[in-house]
Amino acid sequence: MNGLGGLNKSADGVVIGLAQLQLPVVETPEQLERQTARIVEMTAKARRGLPSMDLIVFPEYSLHGLSMNTDPALMCTDDGPQVQAMRQACRDHRIWGCFSIMEANPGGMPYNTGLIIDDAGEVRLKYRKLHPWVPVEPWEPGDLGIPVCDGPRGSKLALIICHDGMFPEMARECAYIGADIMIRTAGYTAPIRHAWQITNQANAFCNLMYTVSVCMSGSDGTFDSMGEAMIVGYDGVPLVSGGGRADEIVSGEVRPALVREARRLWGVENNIYQLGHRGYVAVEGGAGDCPYTYMHDLAAGRYRVPWEDEVQVTDGTGEGFPRPTRRYGGTVRE
C-alpha cells in the first residue's frame, strides 16, 4: 500500500515525489541559470500539487543535461548560486529536496554530486558518485563514501546515483549503515530500462529497504531519457511505477517503521543480517567470517578479475575523452 500516491498519509508515512524532469540542453551559464529556475519552479509545483509530500527527488543531470560538458563556467560549488537557490526553494516551500549538480573539483575532473536538503534549507547529505558510468562519463570517482542522514518523519536516507545501483555492494552498504530508504537518481536512457527495474527491485529485497528511483525524461534532441520513476517495497515488490511523461511528479508513501519491523522480526530472507551470521541454525551465532575472495582482494588493493588482461575498454578514449594522466588521489604526471 502507498496511500494512493500519498493522498492518504499514514501517521508514520513518508510521502515522496519523483520528478521525471524534462531533459534540458545546458551549454551556457544563461541556460544553467534558467534550468536552476526550472528546478525551483518544480519544487513549488511539488508542494502545491501534493501538500502531504515530505520529499521531492530530482534526477541526476536535472541541472546540467546529458552533454557531459565539463566547462568550469557551468560547474557548481557548495556556496554557489545554484545550490543557494535549491536551499531557498526547500525553505520557502517547507519541503525536503534531493538535487543533482556537477561539482567543481580544482584537483581534477568535476564530481557528479547529489545533495539532500531539509525543509529548513540545510544540506543534510552530500554524496559524490562512486561509480561514474564508464566509459561514457568523465566525472572524478567519489571520495565521500556513502553517507546516511536522518530524513523526514524519522526516516534514514541514503543517496546513490545511477550506475551506482548496478553494484549490489552499494545498496548493501546503504542498508548496513542504517538507511531504510535508498534514493537512486539517474539520467539513464531507454536501453537500460530492464536492468533499471530489476536492480531497483533486487536492491530493495536483498536489503529489506525501500528503494525510490527516478530518471530524466523526454528528449534533448540527441538523447532520450526514460523517466521510469519507481518506488519499491522492502520485499522487492514495486509499489509505484511511472512511465515516460516529462515533468510528471510520480508520488507514493513509504513507511520506514515496517522496514525496521522486518529487519527485527524476519527469519527467512533477512539477508542483510544473515550475511554476517551464516548458518546460525547449525552453529551458535552463525559464521561471521568473510569467505568472499573479491572482498579481500579489493580491500588489499589487488582486485583483479580472471580475464583482466583481455578487457578491451579500460579508458574513455573511445568516447572522445583523453587518456588520464594521474592515478586516483594523485596529481597529473608530467
| Residues marked as catalytic | 60, 129, 162
Report d(CA 101, CA 83) in Å as an integer.
8
Helices (H), 66-187: 81-93, 168-176
Query: If DSSP codes are grouped into helix, strand and coil, which group holds residue 126?
Result: strand
Contact 182/158 with Cβ under 8 angstroms?
yes
Query: If DSSP codes are grouped into helix, strand and coil, which group holds residue 131?
Result: coil
Contact 82/63 with Cβ under 8 angstroms?
yes
**Eight-state DSSP code of residue 230:** E
Report d(CA 198, CA 194) in Å as an integer.
6
**For residue 215, what is its C-alpha cell?**
530518471
Residue 320 burial (C-beta neighbours within 10 Å; 0-12, 13-18, 19+): exposed
Report d(CA 180, CA 258) in Å as an integer.
9
Q: Which of 96, 41, 38 is nearest to 212 (CA)?
A: 96
**55 strand-pairing partners:** 16, 96
